[in-house]
Amino acid sequence: MATAAADLGLERAEPGVLPPGPRAPALVQFLHFGFRPIAFLEECERRYGTPFTLRVPARPPLVMFSDPEAIREIFTGDPELLRAGEANDLLEPMLGQHSLLLLDGPRHLRQRRLMLPPFHGERMQAYGRVMREIADRSIDAWPVGRPFPIHERMQAITLDVILRTVFGLDEGALLDRLRECLRRLMAFVSGTLGVLLLMPWLQRDLGPFSPGGRFVRLAHEIDDLLFAEIARRRAEGVAGRADILSMLVAARDEDGQPMSDQELRDEMVTLLLAGHETTATSLAWAFHRLLGRPDVLGKLRAELRAAVDGGCIEPDHVARLEYLDAVVKETARLSPVISQVSRRLQAPMRIGGCDLPAGVVASPCIYLTHRRPDLWPNPARFDPERFIGARPNPYAFFPFGGGVRRCIGAAFATYEMKIVLAEILTRVELSAAPGYTVRTVRRTVTLAPSGGMPVVVERLEPARV
């Protein structure tokens, strides 16, 4: 009997100048990459080595790399020849054409310079107390003694963090309306139909019941709220406001020009959709990893107890929590929330010893690189000790991408993870839900634990003041 892999065309390499890869039709490859991403990547690497080539409908070939030297060549290469924005253009219907993720060249440089100041590391402490307050409010409502999906609670926390720190919205009608619209949008894009939005012809608005049509109608509701708020900030002024939207409204480029309303909208949507979903997913994975290693959880709790000394986590504690930092890094190594980053070649290039033609997409594969046994001994083991006193190679460990395209919100997301994890673990005793077995599922572009990562609260301490 033929194996499933053989039936899918994984048995033989495709001919041609590109590295080998499965011969299954592009649509079949897309469905495997969309609905069983980890198994598909591992099968391809096992059969073809690195690099290998994938094909999906209406897109250029995708050449996946996991060798650090090849990844170094990609991250340090000329960004005019290795365009990340062009490689990400599939996300334009969701994020908008002015999103930092979709820009290249001078436009990308201008927008990145305008957006850097609000995300500077020194600003994190200003956000830390808000993050802790939001986490505490969520924890207070957690049920005790019965399973619930912790991923959903992490999404609620990280969404409110974005609404408070990025938009500067306090409790009120606007925050409630925006929160509800975003919850409905995220519920849609995180489901099966959300994965189908990665198919170019399904992104079009073909009516209210089509995936593209449903997304467009949800997005229009959010746009109305965002444009109204941007107009209000411009009219009233932003003096004295410290939220990220106000800082971006006030920002000026080298020619003294501000961002347009559309640019602000696209960057806000990018932060809303990418910023809170990725952090929430990383937190869910962190609980999965910690609950599977009671020894690691115990060591982390001991560090936190010593740091807070009977009080609550404070923003200035974070920099001193070495083991917490290692737990966050090891979670990102073992369970990255995106599988790869991409660059589209503008000219023929030699990468990793392979001659690639113009037009293909070179993709450093985060997931496969983070699990190479020659880089990470016993790679499937959750072991934060790897990161104690060590500085990882940026071409072997790159959960936030690399080079000039490294995620602008990396410091914000990492800091938020530390605050939320510390607050939860000093207040709550958790266990994994009985009978739960984790699978990795795709939620549009992110890789998340199945079923929302159900947990049980065994003990809940009151918030400390």
Please indicate, yes or no, if residue 328 is contained in any of the structural domains: yes
CATH number, domain of 305, equals 1.10.630.10
d(Cα 158, Cα 277) in Å, to the nearest integer? 7
Structural domain including 251 reads: 104-337+382-460
**Lookup result for tokens 């990383």:** 282
Residue 242: C-alpha distances to residues 168, 318, 462 (Å):
8, 21, 30
Please indicate, yes or no, if residue 210 is contained in any of the structural domains: yes
Please indicate, yes or no, if residue 326 is contained in any of the structural domains: yes
Cβ-defined contacts of 345-348 (< 8 Å, 24+): 345/81, 345/82, 346/80, 346/81, 346/82, 346/83, 347/81
d(Cα 131, Cα 312) in Å, to the nearest integer? 13
Q: What is the pTM of this model?
A: 0.92
Number of domains within the chain: 1
DSSP H or E stretch at residue 152:
helix 150-161
DSSP state of 459: E
d(Cα 309, Cα 419) in Å, to the nearest integer? 16
Please indicate, yes or no, if residue 450 is contained in any of the structural domains: yes
Whether 205 contacts 212, CB under 8 Å: yes
CB-based burial label for 409 (10 Å; 0-12, 13-18, 19+): buried
Which pLDDT belongs to residue 121? 67
Whether 67 contacts 395, CB under 8 Å: no
Please indicate, yes or no, if residue 6 is contained in any of the structural domains: no
Please indicate, yes or no, if residue 271 is contained in any of the structural domains: yes
Please indicate, yes or no, if residue 43 is contained in any of the structural domains: no
The tens-digit pLDDT sequence of the chain (465 residues) is 334 444 444 444 444 589 999 999 999 999 999 889 999 999 999 999 999 999 999 899 999 999 999 999 999 999 999 999 999 998 888 888 999 999 999 999 999 999 988 887 677 778 898 999 999 999 999 999 999 999 999 999 999 999 988 888 877 888 888 888 888 887 777 766 666 666 666 667 777 767 777 778 888 888 999 999 999 999 988 888 888 899 999 999 999 999 999 999 999 989 888 888 899 999 999 999 999 999 999 999 999 999 988 778 888 889 899 999 999 999 999 999 999 999 999 999 999 999 999 999 999 999 999 999 999 999 999 999 999 999 999 999 999 999 999 999 999 999 999 999 999 999 999 999 999 999 999 888 899 999 999 999 998 888 776
Which pLDDT belongs to residue 193? 62
Which pLDDT belongs to residue 5? 43
Which pLDDT belongs to residue 208? 72
Please indicate, yes or no, if residue 91 is contained in any of the structural domains: no
